[in-house]
């Protein structure tokens, strides 16, 4: 039975990391898997593990939500630019996934964050082209940093889940 559980967990964490890399909710999938395992085989995965994984997943969403907005603020942008970067990230990621499968959502999210911040700074906040470009580049860099942090959090979630199953099994 343990080899079946280990195989399932290995497949889930591998898919979860890959999903996170292409901006899909892979960490949430690992957290949901841990909850199902806690119900199915509580001797291998405890509820503390589930709680930790859901905490990591929530943290990853928080990082994702605020990273490009912080990039705008760091580069001297306005609240409009921060809001534009969040909207641009969503629009860009969705559009990018239709234009270029698999990596389109990554590229689209980064371009969308920068473009959304630029458009909001230039049209809503009436900032100069130079300042708008600076805010847009800050949003794009913030989005890239967010993706790296989320990938690291996915690795942490995978490590927690795998290590707890292995520890409790042996």
Given a contact cutoff of 8 angstroms between Cβ atoms, the answer to whether 69 and 139 are in contact is: yes
Q: What percent of the chain has pLDDT over 70?
A: 100
pLDDT over 90 (residue 70): no
Per-residue model confidence as pLDDT tens digits over 75-124: 888 889 989 998 998 899 899 989 888 788 889 999 999 999 999 999 99
- In angstroms, the Cα distances linking 143 to 25, 73, 85, 130, 156 are 16, 13, 9, 20, 20
The Cα 66–Cα 80 span in angstroms is: 14
Given a contact cutoff of 8 angstroms between Cβ atoms, the answer to whether 114 and 132 are in contact is: no
Q: Which of 11, 8, 7 is nearest to 36 (CA)?
A: 8
Q: Residue 2 has what pLDDT?
A: 86
pTM: 0.84
pLDDT over 80 (residue 69): no
């Amino acid at each position: 039975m343990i080899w079946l559980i280990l195989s399932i967990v290995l497949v889930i964490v591998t898919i979860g990391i890959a999903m996170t890399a292409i901006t899909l909710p892979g960490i949430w999938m690992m957290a949901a898997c841990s909850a199902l395992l806690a119900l199915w085989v509580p001797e291998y995965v405890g509820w503390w593990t589930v709680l930790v994984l859901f905490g990591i997943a929530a943290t990853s969403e928080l990082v994702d939500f605020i990273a490009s907005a912080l990039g705008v603020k760091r580069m001297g942008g306005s609240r409009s630019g921060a809001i534009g970067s969040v909207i641009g990230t969503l629009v860009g990621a969705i559009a990018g996934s239709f234009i270029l499968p698999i990596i389109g959502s990554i590229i689209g999210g980064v371009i969308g964050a920068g473009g959304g911040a630029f458009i909001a700074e230039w049209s809503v906040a009436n900032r100069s082209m130079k300042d708008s470009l600076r805010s847009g580049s800050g949003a794009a860099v913030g989005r890239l940093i967010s993706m790296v942090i989320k990938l690291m959090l996915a690795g942490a979630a995978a490590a927690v889940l795998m290590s707890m199953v292995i520890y409790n099994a042996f």
